[in-house]
Amino acid sequence: MQTRPRLLPVVLATATFFPVLFVVRRLIDRFVHLPGPGHLGRNLAGEVVLLLITVAIVTWTGWWRQTGLLGPWRQRWWTVLLLVWLALMLLIGLPVLLQQSSARPLFPLLPVLALAAMIGFCEETLTRGVILYGLSRHGPLIAGLISAAIFGLLHSFNYFEGVPVSFVVSQVTTAALLGLLFAGLRVRMLVLWPMIVAHAAVDVPGLLGGYPLDVPAMSPIAIVVSIWELMPFGMLGLGLLLWEHLNGRNPLLDR
């Protein structure tokens, strides 16, 4: 079983995010009529397919420890930074959720929690797990930058879900910054589960509010503010990656 970094799993993980998931959702829309407001049932079905593919990739590569799904949890104090980011994002998202709930009922909680859990697991396992480790032979800095860029670009496909261009621009940029933070924390802590849980938790308010339905366009000022809110966290993540690079360390390989 091949357990060293290689590029084929990176290609497969990226293809899973972009064309595979996109095609699966289009096929579900065309041939399967699932119950649930705002295509909630369709999104759940799409994530189940993505979950199966994600587990298949990790099983095929044997990268259970390398992706951080198994193995040690090092330097646990970095979880504090993750909790600070999560608390800030939830506080920012709460007023929007309350405003949306006054206009229409929220989506059912249990299906939304299931969807958020699958999104968090699949996206983190593929980006901060498979892709980050697969590129780690080029060093943590390069691997972190590329995985963050891929994570940002995958959000551009939300345009085809009817999300306004201005919102997509904000999503792509902030997701890339978040990718830097998560990559830096992953290199430090090795374990992936704190990022999976945080990712799932931060998605819950938006999914409860019906995302991607009725997403408002963003003004240029709102885009700048949303990016500015994530900029310090992204730079901290970049700093962690740069620190390992400058000191000639590669924790993802030195296991």
* 152 in any annotated domain: yes
The domain total for the chain is: 1
CB burial readout 229-243, b (16+ within 10 A) else e: ebeebbebbbebbee
Q: Is the peptide bond before 108 cis (omega within 30 degrees of 0)?
A: no
218 three-state secondary structure: coil
Does the predicted TM-score (pTM) go above 0.75? Answer: yes
> Is 236 part of any domain?
yes
Tally of CB atoms within 10 A around 212: 19
Q: What is the pLDDT of residues 23-55, one digit of tens each?
A: 777 777 676 655 444 467 778 888 898 999 999
Answer for the pair 91, 182: CB distance below 8 angstroms, yes or no.
Answer: no
Sign of CA dihedral 48, 204, 121, 151: positive
Give the model confidence (pLDDT) of 155-185 as tens digits. 998 888 889 999 999 999 999 999 999 999 9
Cβ pair 88, 229 in contact under 8 A: yes
Residue 164 within any structural domain of the chain: yes
Instruction: Specify if 163 maps to a domain.
Output: yes
Token digits for 169? 């621009």
Query: Looking up tokens 């892709």, which residue turns up?
Result: 131
Residue 50 falls inside a structural domain:
yes
Domain region containing 91: 8-246
13: in domain? yes
Residue 1 lies in a domain: no
